[in-house]
A and B are shown apart, each in its own frame.
Chain A
Amino acid sequence: EAGVTQSPTHLIKTRGQQATLRCSPISGHTSVYWYQQALGLGLQFLLWYDEGEERNRGNFPPRFSGRQFPNYSSELNVNALELEDSALYLCASSLVGGQVNQPQHFGDGTRLSIL
């Protein structure tokens, strides 16, 4: 079974640019989650999509947005990039998101560096 895949592995941008990160969940998983892992700050929850709908959103500005496609893959878009956006962005997927006993399965992340 293929795991969660994220692309690209690394992304280098400059301040003010826009970044698009992509995630393909495990086959059969309908929920996709996005997290930001900045050095020393642990995992910060960004967004949760389930069945194409946004189910929950973390405390991030509106320039962080995303969507989930009919095949359950997802995109995270970050506009007007700032230096502090430099981080590892992790995507996770799970079976039906509303079921509390479902663990999340993580991809290896996209390392976003802002110059």
Chain B
Amino acid sequence: QVQLVESGGGVVQPGGSLRLSCTASGFNFNTFTMHWARQAPGKGLEWVAIILNDGTSKSYGDSVEGRFTISRDNSKNTLSLQMNSLRVEDTAVYYCVKEVSGGWFMESWGLGTLVTVSS
């Protein structure tokens, strides 16, 4: 079955950087569009970024555009999120998400990794 395991979360100071990874298994990773989404503590969900199956096209949420970069390595079944210029308001659980077959909807979510931005 589909498994998505995020890693790389932790505590970082404002202005710092962090790189998240997601290891995928149980499906043909290189045929699916992938996403990152996040959830601040006690708050709702926020879409962060999308990358097409071949990595040729990406898009970002307004709050992270220009600071975050999504990427993937299909040879290693890995999705990544490079986060730079981190702000206190980036504190959240970050989820790796697989789209449904046929696209357009977020099907399977990992358990998430917590990023805390604090001085």
Q: Do A and B bind each other?
A: no
